[in-house]
Amino acid sequence: AQTVTQSQPEMSVQEAETVTLSCTYDTSESNYYLFWYKQPPSRQMILVIRQEAYKQQNATENRFSVNFQKAAKSFSLKISDSQLGDTAMYFCAFRNAGNMLTFGGGTRLMVKP
In the complex, which residues of this chain contact other proteins (CB under 8 A)? 4, 9, 31-33, 35, 43-47, 50, 52, 89, 91, 95-106, 108
HSE-CB of 103 using CA atoms within 13 angstroms: 12
Nearer to other proteins among residue 13 and residue 45 (C-beta): 45
What is the rounded CA–CA span in Å between residue 84 and residue 24?
A: 26
- Asked whether the beta carbons of 113 and 17 are under 8 A apart, the reply is no
Neighbouring-strand partners of residue 34:
51, 94
Smallest gap from residue 16 Cβ to other proteins (A)? 27
Smallest gap from residue 46 Cβ to other proteins (A)? 7
Nearer to other proteins among residue 68 and residue 106 (C-beta): 106
Amino acid of residue 60: T
Nearer to other proteins among residue 41 and residue 113 (C-beta): 41
